[in-house]
Structure 1
Amino acid sequence: MRGQPDVVAAPRERDRSVWPRGEGRWPKFLRKNGLSVAALLLFLGSFIGQALTGFHVANEQARVHHDIPATFGQYLASGDFMEAVFENWESEFLQIALFVVLTKFLRQRGSSESKATDGPSDVDEDPNEKRGDPNAPWPVRRGGIVLALYQRSLSLALLFLFALSFALHAVGGASKYNEEQLRHGGEVVTTFVYVGTAQFWFESFQNWQSEFFSIACLVLLSIVLRERGSPQSKPVAAPHSTTGGG
């Protein structure tokens, strides 16, 4: 109508999320737990793939040596499969456990994987100051030895999983080693003796070195490279000298 000012629509606020649409289409459980669900599904798919392809390879080798091919169940219970699985788990748990512990004490200027180079961080706060907080986890409110263990529980759990995987790698590796020894007329050894062989440590070190190298790459690359939307990265516009992911 004449005589009335034109109505100007208010500017729409720009959605700064990486995926601005479609969040409501996901079930609530997946929205809140998608990261763990995706990781576990990737693990399951890879684990099944390893089992199926490993079974095929093992039976191909059995035919070459004129041995009786194993059933799938026999393969899953074999030292060959056990050694292959836990040799890798061992290195992964060692990698994460050491990374958790090392980042408590060591810094890397500019890396999103490091605490700030100067001053305390939120993760350094004394949990005893939160004992009266009703929302704090039960071990924090309980205090004492329970709290002492709880505030180190992440590294302790990872180190336990490393030790368990290390032991199962040794058991599976010894079984596989003894199968080869019997096939070629060699001497069977105990698991304890096998752990002292170069073969066992070669299997361990070839995985450990790759895990430690990948940590170093992540720490150093995060200084100058970015991944928008990932908590493992600094904000895209942050200066290279900014330390931490915040």
Structure 2
Amino acid sequence: MASRLLRQNSLSIVFLLLFLAALVGQAFAGWHQFNAQQVSEQLGTISFGDYLTSASFAVDVAENWQSEYLQFLLYIVGTIWLIQIGSPESPSAPGLGTEEDHKIGEYAEPDSPKWAKVGGFRTLLFSWSLSLTMLAIFLASWTIQSVAGWAAFNETQLQSRMDTISWGSYLVNADFWARTLQNWQSEFLAVGSMAILAVYLRQRGSAESKPVGEPHDSTGATDGE
């Protein structure tokens, strides 16, 4: 039973373990980097536990999370209406599709999720639950980034004997937008590259690739079936 559970969920489990390993590695590397900077500025060092609860660590983590979930949100919503000819992740035709296409309401199957069958607000909410969840996580991590970044910025200001600023002022500060946009641009580049490279390149066995012999202009997962 345990081996079957691991096999059936191996993709999510592997990425969860990779995430945890990378997060721990980031924490230790960030701690050493932070203390090295403190020493260079003739300031006191902090313990690993103190670093984990510091604004510096929080902002470094949150700024990456918010950009990742923004990427997913825009890609999920964008692929409803936008097309990339030849991409396996592009719809062959734009739009929300019909209830029959999505097996909701009267077209639901016996094993369809309950909220796909009931109709009304619950089915509408379930129909948008993926993008709404991505939006909620993005907004939460963006808020954490802004607050933690504000605290870290003001700590630096105090160490330099300069005036602190309000959270509202930090939201229009270059420090906040430099942190934010350096992550956004890399995510947008990665998504755009994936969309266009998947038109002409293949990876045998991957669900993110068309079948190796599929024509370049074959668009959407359904075209490759």
Q: Where on the TM-score scale, by shorter chain, does this alignment land: which range?
A: over 0.9
1:127 is aligned to 2:104: yes
Q: Is the 8 A contact 1:173 1:200 kept in 2?
A: yes
The one of 205, 214, 225 equivalent to 2:190 is 214
Q: Is the 8 A contact 1:116 1:243 kept in 2?
A: yes
SS in 2 for 1:221: helix
SS in 1 for 2:151: helix
Q: What TM-score comes out, normalization by structure 2 length?
A: 0.92
The one of 152, 155, 159 equivalent to 2:131 is 155
Q: Is the 8 A contact 2:81 2:94 kept in 1?
A: no
The one of 109, 112, 115 equivalent to 2:91 is 115
Instruction: Tell me which amino acid in the other structure corresponds to 1:129.
Output: E
Q: Distance in 1 between matches of 2:126 and 2:212?
A: 35
Q: Distance in 2 between matches of 1:47 and 1:66?
A: 28
Q: Is the 8 A contact 1:108 1:117 kept in 2?
A: no
The one of 77, 93, 115 equivalent to 1:101 is 77
Match of 2:41 in 1: 65
Residue 126 (structure 1) shift: 5.7
Q: Residue 41 and residue 56 in structure 1: after superposition, are their counterparts in 2 closer, same or farther (change >3 A)? A: same
Per-residue deviation, residues 10-55 of structure 1 (Å, max 9, x unmatched)? xxxxxxxxxxxxxxxx921121000000110110000000000000
More helix by share: 2
SS in 1 for 2:140: helix
Match of 1:15 in 2: none
Q: Residue 147 and residue 118 in structure 1: after superposition, are their counterparts in 2 closer, same or farther (change >3 A)? A: closer
Instruction: Tell me which amino acid in the other structure corresponds to 2:162.
Output: G
Q: Is the 8 A contact 1:117 1:243 kept in 2?
A: no
Residue 199 (structure 1) shift: 1.2
Q: Is the 8 A contact 1:109 1:117 kept in 2?
A: no
Instruction: Tell me which amino acid in the other structure corresponds to 2:107.
Output: K
Identity of aligned residues (%): 40
SS in 1 for 2:211: coil
Instruction: Tell me which amino acid in the other structure corresponds to 1:206.
Output: Q
Q: Is the 8 A contact 2:82 2:94 kept in 1?
A: no
Structure 2 gaps of 5+ residues are none
1:200 is aligned to 2:173: no
Residue 79 (structure 1) shift: 0.9
Q: Is the 8 A contact 2:31 2:51 kept in 1?
A: yes
The one of 127, 148, 165 equivalent to 1:189 is 165
SS in 1 for 2:9: helix
Larger Rg computed on CA atoms: 1
Q: Distance in 1 between matches of 2:148 and 2:218?
A: 46
Root-mean-square deviation (CA), in Å? 1.9
